[in-house]
């Protein structure tokens, strides 16, 4: 019996599901060892997903970022890679409660939508277009991590202000660490995402002779860029603790998802 | 072999008794050797901390208890009867359980305190250097340290601060993470403030500034923390520079107002400011708590944190007790199995000797025979011996037998029946 291409995708999905469940049970039980089990499952899922992405690259001869399932899957893959790198450096347990479900959600979308592999449309066979997709997806992954740590910084700030530690208290690193990680991820993500947007505009100009066609995904992408700029500015001015910044974060998250999901819109 | 522990602790004896029994580091060797010299004692160690003094020995039997009590009474310069009121005497499994609990901080005045683990380790390493640890005590030592580590790692029982100054340090870590490079401002010279500054200083903060109405006193305190004294009217200027402010003055009014903090935070570009108000009446305006980026904790808040942590430690102690119970049972089973080994080996050797002798006699009588016939007779004799040994060995290895006296009696009976030395 030979392995189907989607087998590795479903294996990754199953492992991410188990990893996310283990992380949540560990939160409920306050059991750190279970958190390690969750992390190992997620790593195993990530390896399976790497095989899936590698197989697509090998079969189509281009990066797996040309249709919706590929893009969301790639964002999930980079997001978990960044989360893993941060976990190794800072041992931030609490981030997993936000990042694991996000990775799982993205890969679920990828699996549900599922499109057949197809050779790249000649119109899309351009270095500028590849740069646009690659930079946008990597940028989005960093921005999502930045949002997750921003949320942790907000939770930590509230806990310290109200003097009510809450369930996540022991799992979240210091306020300064959350803030710095969020700021750095947002700054890196914003820079990469900006390059991606510029490349997109250039490609659009080349193919349609216009800078923008005002399609939903384009409006969402620019809105996300503006909202992330506001978020970054809140870190520079140290106003990131304010509630309205949390609202901006929520809108930025939605905008970036729409930009990603609206790849065909 | 018997394990015996004789001692007093903070629950059984007042400080007057404990201080008379306590053994200073310089006299630890002498006391341990005195214990070791008691007839019947094969291994000895002495645990002496401010909350307990315990003599731990392994011996051939329990007859050593009386001489140990006499030795301790002599040391405490009291009568045996007087000392006995405060003593506890533990035997065998109870000693194991007690040591596992002590090293894990479960028997401490403040549950889960971390120092006791190091003190137990020191007790045994000193005894090891003196050469008073026999194999049984060595095993007990290794297992005690392993269980202590397991309890602390698995339950995190000692992780949370249970005193006001430590709670302040813990909160500072929650805000800033690493405390290196931070500046601390101590206002006033109240005891609690001093103690908190002391703890922060031990965490290697960059600099401690001290402000007091009495500048000489401020200079004296600053010297203690390798810091600098500042004039009291310069406090607001220092709010900009400092990350942690401890207020502990006798002033009957607010020394730091919300406006001061707002201005300081603006100048600090909104970098967090942790304010600890340990004074009663309070020295920091409670409105400071509403300023973005300022975290204000007064003495009640910190006490609440410490109390909550203590409650948490107590919850974790239940989990820790379960680990200790499992480990005690595991240790007991290993000891029972180990105890039985010499008798089992001797028994096997004895019966093998009988089998070989009788087999030779039998083969001589039977005369010439084929190899197969000879092998059959040899196999028969081996199987017969194994069958005979089966139940005695099973009984010797029976780990469900908990009473050491009963196990010893069984060993003696088996040795007698089979004519072992």
Strand partners, B246: B186, B276
Mean pLDDT of B82-97: 91
> Quick check: B174 and A238 CB within 8 A?
no
Interface of B with A in 245-274 (CB under 8 A): 269-272
Q: Do A174 and B301 touch (CB under 8 A)?
A: no
- Give B78's pLDDT tier (boundaries 50, 70, 90): confident
The pLDDT confidence band at residue A35, using thresholds 50, 70 and 90, is confident
Q: How far is A70 from chain B (nearest CA, A)?
A: 39
Residue tagged 């002496």 (tokens): B48
Q: B201-221, pLDDT tens digit by residue?
A: 888 899 999 998 888 888 888
Mutate to test the interface with B, among A36, A159, A160 (most CBs of B within 10 A): A160
| Neighbour-count burial for B121-150, b at 16+ CB within 10 Å, e otherwise | eebbebbeebebbbebbebbbebbbebbeb
User: Which candidate, B227, B281, B289, places its Cα nearest to that of B258?
Assistant: B289
Q: What does the pLDDT read at residue A141?
A: 86
CATH of domain B164-292: 3.40.50.720
Q: CA triplet A198, A202, A203: central angle to 5 degrees? A: 115
Q: Give the pLDDT band of residue B324 (cuts 50, 70, 90).
A: very high
Domain with CATH 3.30.460.30 in chain B: 2-158
Rounded mean pLDDT, B384-409: 82
- The residues, any chain, with a CB within 8 Å of residue B314's CB and separated by 6 or more, are B111
- A30-39, B11-20, B107-116: lowest mean pLDDT where? A30-39
Is A37's pLDDT higher than 50?
Answer: yes
Nearest CA in chain B to A169: B174
Pair B21, B53: CB distance under 8 Å: yes
User: What is the predicted pLDDT for the residue at A29?
Assistant: 78
Whether B306 contacts chain A with CB within 8 A: no
In angstroms, what CA-CA distances link B352 with B348, B356, B388?
Answer: 6, 6, 11
Contact B177/A at CB under 8 A:
yes
User: Which element (helix H / strand E) includes B372?
Assistant: helix B371-396
Question: How far B41 CA sits from the closest chain A CA (Å)?
Answer: 43
Residue A20 has pLDDT above 80, yes or no: yes
Cis, peptide link before residue B281, omega less than 30° from 0: yes
Q: Which residues of B touch A237 (CB under 8 A)?
A: 269-270
Is residue B50 part of the annotated active site? The answer reads yes
pLDDT over 70, % of chain A? 89
Judge whether residue B90 has pLDDT over 70: yes
Q: If residue A24 lies in a helix (H) or strand (E), which one and from where to where? A: helix A5-29
DSSP letter (8 states) at residue A162: H
CB interface of A with B, residues 103-142, below 8 Å: none
Which residues in chain B touch residue A175, judged by CB atoms under 8 angstroms apart?
Answer: 174-177, 272
pLDDT at B47 over 90: yes
Mean pLDDT of chain B: 89
Fold of B2-158: Beta Polymerase; domain 2 (3.30.460)
User: How many A-B residue pairs are in contact by the CB < 8 A criterion?
Assistant: 44
- pLDDT at position A230 is 92
Residues of chain B with CATH 3.40.50.720: 164-292
A207 in contact with B at a CB cutoff of 8 Å?
no
Among residues B50, B237, B362, B384, the one annotated as catalytic is B50
Find, among A163, A132, A147, the residue nearest to A248 by Cα.
A147
Strand, helix or coil for residue A246: helix
pLDDT band at B186 (very low <50, low <70, confident <90, very high): very high
Of the candidates A202, A187, A249, which has an alpha carbon nearest to the alpha carbon of residue A224? A249
Amino acid B352: pLDDT: 92
For residue B327, give Cα distances in angstroms to A233, B140, B150, B320, B388: 55, 11, 10, 11, 34
Q: Where are the alpha helices (DSSP H) in A114-215?
A: 127-162, 175-208
CB contact under 8 A, A165 and B308: yes
User: Would an 8 Å CB–CB cutoff place B323 in contact with chain A?
Assistant: no
B287 touches chain A (CB under 8 A): no
- pLDDT interval class at A116 (50, 70, 90): low
Q: Do A173 and B177 touch (CB under 8 A)?
A: yes
The answer to whether the beta carbons of residues B401 and B410 sit under 8 Å apart is yes
d(CA B97, CA B90): 10
Please name the residues in contact with B153: beta carbons below 8 A apart, sequence gap of 6 or more: none
Residue B210 near residue B229, CB atoms below 8 Å: yes
Give the tens place of pLDDT for each residue, A131-147: 888 888 889 888 888 88
Quick check: A121 pLDDT over 70? no
Contacts of B297 in chain A (CB under 8 A): 163
What confidence score (pLDDT) does residue B131 get? 93
Which segment of A168-177, A186-195, B47-56, B281-290 scores lowest on mean pLDDT? Answer: A168-177
Which CB contacts under 8 angstroms, 24+ apart, belong to B227-232?
B227/B184, B227/B201, B230/B185
Per-residue pLDDT for A2 more than 60?
A: no
Q: Tens digit of pLDDT for each residue in B278-315?
A: 888 888 999 999 998 899 999 889 888 888 888 888 88
pLDDT of res. A264? 55
What does B94-152 look like in DSSP terms, one character per residue? Answer: HHHHHHHHHHTTTTSSSTT-SHHHHHHHHHHHHHHHHT---HHHHHHHHHHHHHHHHHH
pLDDT band at A1 (very low <50, low <70, confident <90, very high): very low
Domain ranges of chain A: 64-264
Give the whole-angstrom CA distance, residue A48 versus residue A53.
9
Residue B238: pLDDT above 50?
yes
Q: Which of B69, B61, B49 is nearest to B6 (CA)?
A: B69
What is the ipTM score, two decimals?
Answer: 0.76
Confidence class for position A265, pLDDT limits 50, 70, 90: very low
pTM for this entry? 0.69
Longest Cα–Cα distance of chain A, Å, equals 60
Give the model confidence (pLDDT) of A45-70 as tens digits.
999 999 988 888 888 777 777 777 88
Structure tokens at B187: 């206002």
Q: Is B364 helix (H, G, I), strand (E, B) or coil?
A: helix
- The pLDDT score that the predictor gives to residue B243 is 93
Residue B234's nearest CA partner among B210, B216, B251 is: B210
pLDDT of B364 over the 80 cut:
yes
- Nearest to residue B327, comparing CAs of B174, B54, B99, B137? B99
Q: How far is CA A137 from CA A142, B207, B216, in A?
A: 9, 45, 63
Choice among A6-10, B8-12, B145-149, B150-154 with the minimum mean pLDDT: A6-10
| Closest Cα in chain B to A175 | B175
Evaluate the CA torsion angle B292, B191, A174, A159 in order and state its sign. negative
């Amino acid at each position: 019996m030979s392995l189907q291409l989607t087998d590795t995708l479903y294996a990754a999905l199953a492992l991410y599901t188990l990893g996310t469940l283990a992380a949540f049970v560990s939160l409920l039980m306050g059991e750190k060892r279970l958190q390690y089990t969750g992390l190992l499952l997620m790593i195993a899922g990530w390896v399976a997903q790497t095989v899936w992405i590698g197989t697509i690259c090998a079969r189509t001869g281009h990066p797996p970022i040309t249709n919706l399932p590929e893009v969301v899957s790639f964002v999930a893959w980079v997001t978990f890679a960044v989360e893993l790198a941060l976990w190794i450096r800072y041992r931030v347990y609490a981030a997993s409660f936000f990042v694991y479900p996000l990775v799982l959600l993205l890969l679920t979308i990828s699996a549900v939508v599922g499109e057949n592999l197809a050779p790249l449309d000649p119109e899309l066979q351009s270095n500028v277009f590849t740069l646009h997709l690659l930079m946008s997806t990597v940028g989005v992954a960093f921005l999502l991590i930045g949002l997750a740590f921003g949320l942790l910084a907000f939770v930590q700030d509230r806990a310290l202000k109200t003097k009510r530690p809450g369930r996540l208290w022991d799992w979240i690193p210091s306020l300064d660490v959350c803030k710095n990680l969020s700021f750095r991820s947002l700054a890196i993500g914003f820079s990469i995402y900006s390059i991606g947007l510029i490349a997109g505009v250039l490609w659009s100009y080349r193919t349609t002779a216009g800078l923008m066609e005002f399609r939903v995904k384009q409006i969402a992408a620019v809105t996300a860029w503006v909202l992330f700029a506001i978020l970054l500015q809140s870190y520079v001015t140290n106003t990131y603790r304010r509630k309205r910044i949390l609202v901006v974060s929520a809108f930025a998250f939605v905008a970036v998802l729409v930009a990603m999901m609206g790849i065909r819109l | 072999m018997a394990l015996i522990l004789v001692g007093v602790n903070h629950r059984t004896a007042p400080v007057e008794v404990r201080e008379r029994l306590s053994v200073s580091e310089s006299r630890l060797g002498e006391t341990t050797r005195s214990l070791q010299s008691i007839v019947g004692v094969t291994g000895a160690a002495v645990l002496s901390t401010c909350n307990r003094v315990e003599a731990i020995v392994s011996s051939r039997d329990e007859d050593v208890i009386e001489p140990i009590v006499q030795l301790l009474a002599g040391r405490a310069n009291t009568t045996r009867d007087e000392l006995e009121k405060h003593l506890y005497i533990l035997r065998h499994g109870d000693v194991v359980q007690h040591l596992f609990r002590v090293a894990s901080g479960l028997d401490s005045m403040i549950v889960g305190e971390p120092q006791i683990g190091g003190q137990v380790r020191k007790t045994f390493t000193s005894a090891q250097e003196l050469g008073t640890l026999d194999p049984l005590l060595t095993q007990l030592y290794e297992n005690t340290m392993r269980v202590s580590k397991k309890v602390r790692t698995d339950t995190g029982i000692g992780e949370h601060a249970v005193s006001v100054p430590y709670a302040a340090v813990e909160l500072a870590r929650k805000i800033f993470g690493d405390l290196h490079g931070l500046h601390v401002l101590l206002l006033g010279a109240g005891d609690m403030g001093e103690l908190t500054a002391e703890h922060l200083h031990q965490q290697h903060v960059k600099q401690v500034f001290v402000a007091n109405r009495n500048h000489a006193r401020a200079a004296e305190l600053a010297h203690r923390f390798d810091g600098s004294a500042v004039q009291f009217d310069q406090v607001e200027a220092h709010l900009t520079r400092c990350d942690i402010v401890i207020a502990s003055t006798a002033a009957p009014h607010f020394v730091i107002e919300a406006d001061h903090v707002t201005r300081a935070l603006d100048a600090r570009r909104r970098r967090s400011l942790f304010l600890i108000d340990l004074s009663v009446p309070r020295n920091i305006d409670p409105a400071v708590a509403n300023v973005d980026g300022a975290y204000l904790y007064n003495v009640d808040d910190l006490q609440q944190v410490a109390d909550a942590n203590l409650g948490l430690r107590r919850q974790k102690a239940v989990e820790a007790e379960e680990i200790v119970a499992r480990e005690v049972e595991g240790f007991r089973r290993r000891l029972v199995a180990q105890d039985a080994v010499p008798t089992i080996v001797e028994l096997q050797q004895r019966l093998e000797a009988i089998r070989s002798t009788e087999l030779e006699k039998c083969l001589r009588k039977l005369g010439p025979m084929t190899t197969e016939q000879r092998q059959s007779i040899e196999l028969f004799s081996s199987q017969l011996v194994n069958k005979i040994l089966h139940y005695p060995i099973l009984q010797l290895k029976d780990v469900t037998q908990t009473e050491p006296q009963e196990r010893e009696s069984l060993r003696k009976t088996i040795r007698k029946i089979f004519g072992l030395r």
